[in-house]
Amino acid sequence: MQNHVLDYLDETVKRVPDKLAYANETTQYTFADVYRKNRSVASWLAKNGYYKEPVVVFMRKSPEEIVTFFGTIQAGCFYVPIDEEMPFARVQLILENCKARVIICDRALLDAARKFEFTGELVCFDEIENTEILDEQLTLIRKKAIDTDPIYIVFTSGSTGIPKGVCACHRSVLDYIEQLSEVLGFDENTVFGNQTPLYFDACLKELYPTIKFGATTWLIPHNLFSMPVKLVEYMNEKKINTVCWVVSALTMISAFRTFDTVVPKFLRTVAFGSEVFPVKQFHLWKNAVPEARFVNLYGPTEGTGMCCYYPVEREFMPDEVIPIGFPFKNTEIMLLDENNKLAEEGEICIRGTSVTLGYYNNPEKTSECFVQNPLNTAYPEIIYRTGDIGRRNERGELVFVSRKDYQIKHMGHRIELGEIEVNVNLLEGVKMSGCVYDQVKNKIILFYVGTVSPAELSKQLKERLPRYMIPNNFYQLDEMPFTANGKIDRIALKNKLK
Amino acid sequence: MDDLLSILSDLHPDVDFTTEENLMDDGILDSFDIVSIISEIGDVFDVIIGANEITPENFNSAEALYALIEKKMDEE
Which CATH number belongs to the domain containing residue A123 in this structure? 3.40.50.980
Domain CATH for B53: 1.10.1200.10
Is residue A210 very low, low, confident or very high in pLDDT (cuts 50, 70, 90)?
Answer: very high
On whether the CB atoms of residues B50 and B71 are closer than 8 A, the answer is: no
Domain CATH for A475: 3.30.300.30
Question: What's the mean per-residue pLDDT of chain A?
Answer: 94
Query: Quick one: average pLDDT of A408-417?
Result: 89
What tens digit of pLDDT does each residue of A289-309 get? 999 999 999 999 999 999 999
On whether the CB atoms of residues A393 and A416 are closer than 8 A, the answer is: no
The confidence score (pLDDT) of residue A134 equals: 98
CB atoms A472 and B11 under 8 Å: yes
Q: Does B32 touch chain A (CB under 8 A)?
A: yes
Is residue A404 very low, low, confident or very high in pLDDT (cuts 50, 70, 90)?
Answer: confident
CB atoms A226 and B30 under 8 Å: yes
A311: pLDDT strictly greater than 90: yes
Q: Which of residues 159-188 of A touch B (CB under 8 A)?
A: none
Distance CA A347, CA A89 (A): 33
Query: Is residue A109 a part of any domain in this protein?
Result: yes
| Residue A331 β-bridge partners | A352
Domain region containing A466? 413-496
Domain boundary, last residue among A88, A122, A145: A145
Q: Which of A258, A455, A457 sits opposite B51 (nearest CB)?
A: A258
CA neighbor of A209 nearest in space, from A406, A9, A460, A35 = A9
Domain total in chain A: 2
Q: Does B6 touch chain A (CB under 8 A)?
A: no
Distances in Å between the Cα of B3 and the Cα atoms of B37, B61, B62 are 12, 15, 11
Q: Does A145 touch chain B (CB under 8 A)?
A: no
* Angle of the A247-255 helix axis to the B31-45 helix axis, nearest 10: 40
Q: In angstroms, how far is CA A308 from the centroid of its own chain?
A: 15
Percent of chain A with pLDDT over 70: 100
The confidence score (pLDDT) of residue A411 equals: 83
Q: Does B24 touch chain A (CB under 8 A)?
A: yes
The confidence score (pLDDT) of residue A278 equals: 86
Q: Which of A226, A454, A467 sits opposite B54 (nearest CB)?
A: A226
Query: Is residue A54 a part of any domain in this protein?
Result: yes
Q: What is the value of pTM for the model shown? A: 0.90
| A430-438: strand order across its sheet | A430-438, A443-450, A473-476
Query: Quick one: average pLDDT of B21-25?
Result: 89
Q: Is the ipTM of this complex over 0.90?
A: no
What tens digit of pLDDT does each residue of A72-88 get? 999 999 999 999 989 99
On whether the CB atoms of residues A274 and A412 are closer than 8 A, the answer is: yes
Domain total in chain B: 1
Sequence-separated (6 or more) residues with CB below 8 Å from residue B60: B21, B22, B23, B24, B25
What tens digit of pLDDT does each residue of B33-57 get? 888 888 889 888 998 888 889 889 9
Query: Quick one: average pLDDT of A162-183?
Result: 97
- How many residues does the structure list for chain A? 498
Please list every residue in chain A whose beta carbon sits closer than 8 Å to the beta carbon of residue B14. Answer: 455-456, 458-459, 462
Query: Is residue A179 a part of any domain in this protein?
Result: no
CA neighbor of A177 nearest in space, from A392, A329, A368, A350 = A329
On whether the CB atoms of residues A250 and A270 are closer than 8 A, the answer is: yes
Distance CA A167, CA A178 (A): 19
Domain region containing B36? 2-75
Domain boundary, last residue among A107, A123, A145: A145
What tens digit of pLDDT does each residue of A220-275 get? 998 899 899 999 999 999 999 999 999 989 988 998 889 999 999 999 999 998 78
Is residue A358 helix, strand or coil? strand
Is residue B31 very low, low, confident or very high in pLDDT (cuts 50, 70, 90)?
Answer: confident
* Structure-model confidence comparison of residues A102 and A273, the more confident one: A102
Distance CA A198, CA A372 (A): 31
Please list every residue in chain A whose beta carbon sits closer than 8 Å to the beta carbon of residue B23. Answer: none
For residue A433, the surrounding DSSP H or E stretch is strand A430-438
The confidence score (pLDDT) of residue A78 equals: 98
Q: Does B43 touch chain A (CB under 8 A)?
A: no
Is residue A18 helix, strand or coil? coil
Distance CA B31, CA B13 (A): 18
Q: Does A471 touch chain B (CB under 8 A)?
A: no
Please list every residue in chain A whose beta carbon sits closer than 8 Å to the beta carbon of residue B11. Answer: 472
Query: Is residue A305 a part of any domain in this protein?
Result: no
Distances in Å between the Cα of A95 and the Cα atoms of A80, A102, A156, A464 are 9, 10, 14, 15
Sequence-separated (6 or more) residues with CB below 8 Å from residue A34: A9, A13, A21, A22, A63, A66, A67, A70, A211
Query: Is residue A402 a part of any domain in this protein?
Result: no
Domain boundary, last residue among A105, A123, A145: A145
Q: Does A8 touch chain B (CB under 8 A)?
A: no
Query: What value does the CA radius of gyration of chain B take, rounded to a whole number of Å?
Result: 11
Minimal Cα distance from A471: which residue of B?
A: B11
Q: Which of B36, B49, B54 sits opposite A227 (nearest CB)?
A: B54
Minimal Cα distance from A454: which residue of B?
A: B13
A142: pLDDT strictly greater than 80: yes
